[in-house]
Amino acid sequence: MLERLFRLREHGTDARTEVLAGVTTFLTMAYIIFVNPEILSSTGMDRDAVFVATCLAAALGSLIMAFVANWPVGMAPGMGLNAFFAFTVVGALGYSWQQALGAVFISGVIFLIITITGIRTWLIAGIPSSLRSAIAAGIGLFLAIIALTTSGIVVANPATKIALGDLTQPAPLYTILGFFIIASLDALRIKGAILIGILVVTVLSMILGHNTFSGLLSAPPSLAPTFLQLDIVGALHTGFVHVILVLVLVEVFDATGTMIGVAKRAGLISDGHPGRLNRALLADSTAIVTGSMLGTSSTTAYAESAAGVQAGGRTGLTALTVALLFLLALFFSPLAGSVPSYATAPALLYVAGLMMREITYIDWDDVTEATPAALTALMMPFTYSIANGLAFGFISYVMLKVATGRWRDAHPASYTVALLFAIKFSLFPD
């Protein structure tokens, strides 16, 4: 049956290799089980329900990837997009989490449409590589400021805006310890480094009396507090235009870039031969829609899937294994509820550092490329908004290309996105 479903021999693999690859991928991305509820619960969402939604969204997304695309790519709610959901849309802009879920749903439907019609390919081809790299780096900086402030390493200061916190307090110390554990384990190429770091800090904080143990296993909590709670009508408010635009753009770059990178490493696509890329794109678009109904931020392809590919994963059986393990994780909700914010902060900070390496792909010798890229990355943490970073980046990119007589260098897609953001700032400056 597995041979018939996944064509194992055709891909030069076997069931044992695929299952081991799936376990490897799961271990590298399972930290989202603890981090996503921590982030989204800050909006007022029920933490236990978000835990269930996270596991189910990851399982469903990975199942769709397994059976529709037959690719070894794990899916789960994405880092960066969950922060945008919680800290920008709800925290800074003041919308309800139900409206934010509605925006995720609408972005997923748009994502599905632009995938089917081929607009997604046009957008990807039209956005300059410098801005693509800057978006990843900027989201990394955004995650970093979130991690540093929630852990107390960085605090508010009326004179300097921000300042160093009290590093003698437990939360900053645990965060620093967790960060070095994760970085050291990852440098030693130990699978599941981020997950191990989270668990070590959690257990240590319990032993030292700074945290309480809520249990290990139990029946899955109720999904009712978040299931189908999305407010689609509320998300159709005009102020949500730029929110939906940001969701779509980040989803386009993040998911597509991840899938192409993982698939190339697995030998599933080559130049001029996209393989089953269109099916994979369709799978991740569908996963966003289903995830919003369950009660979580946008679901996306995980770069950590490359670990499974490195372990030999070549087919959807790897993704199926990931899905089954996320379903099994549903029974560990007490453990997830015992994880404090200072245990997940190191994971955010480390992921931020990994995303920052994208700045090396920016052409710093070309001012018309480097300046918009720098603005994109800098405005995200300094305005506490991924949307503002994208807006400043695209608008400045187009303006500099026109001002220097190089307007032909900018693709129509860049002009389109810049115009949409300019209209938003003109009509809805807040």
Share of the chain above pLDDT 90, in %: 17
pLDDT at residue number 219:
80
Q: How many CB atoms are closer than 10 A to CB 85? A: 29
Length of the chain: 430
The C-alpha angle 227, 79, 336, rounded to 5 degrees, equals: 60
Q: How many CB atoms are closer than 10 A to CB 154? A: 17
Whether 271 shows a pLDDT value over 60: the answer reads no
**Quick check: pTM over 0.85?**
no
Using pLDDT thresholds of 50, 70 and 90, give the confidence band for residue 272. very low
Buried b (16+ CB within 10 A) or exposed e, 292-330: bbbbbbbbbbbbbbbbbbebbbbbbbbbbbbbbbbbebb
| Region for residue 77 given its phi and psi (left: phi exceeds 0; alpha: psi -120 to 50; beta: otherwise) | beta
pLDDT at residue number 310:
67
- What is the residue type of 130? S
pLDDT tens for each residue of 115-141: 788 777 777 667 787 887 887 788 778
Burial of 379 (0-12, 13-18, 19+ CB in 10 A): buried
| Dist. CA 138–CA 123, nearest whole Å | 20
- What is the residue type of 37? P
| Region for residue 243 given its phi and psi (left: phi exceeds 0; alpha: psi -120 to 50; beta: otherwise) | alpha
pLDDT at residue number 336:
66
**Helix runs in 296-385, H state only:** 305-310, 316-329, 333-337, 341-356, 367-382
pLDDT tens for each residue of 36-45: 888 899 899 9
Q: Which tokens sit at 211?
A: 């945290």
pLDDT at residue number 270:
57
Buried b (16+ CB within 10 A) or exposed e, 196-221: bbbbbbbebbeeeeebeeeeeeeebb
| Dist. CA 268–CA 308, nearest whole Å | 14
pLDDT at residue number 399:
94
pLDDT at residue number 375:
92
Strands (E), 98-178: 154-157, 161-164
Looking at residues 279-299, what average pLDDT do you find?
A: 85
Whether 253 shows a pLDDT value over 50: the answer reads yes
pLDDT tens for each residue of 382-428: 887 777 788 888 899 999 999 999 988 888 888 888 887 787 677 65
Contacts of 416 (CB under 8 A, 6+ apart): none
SS3 (DSSP) at 223: coil
- Contact between 427 and 241 under an 8 Å Cβ cutoff? The reply is no
| Dist. CA 206–CA 43, nearest whole Å | 26
The sign of the torsion formed by the CA atoms of 59, 89, 44, 80 equals positive
Could you state, in order of their start, the residue ranges of all structural domains in the chain? 2-349+365-427
Q: Which tokens sit at 100?
A: 């934010």
Q: Which tokens sit at 151?
A: 């852990």
| Dist. CA 335–CA 357, nearest whole Å | 32
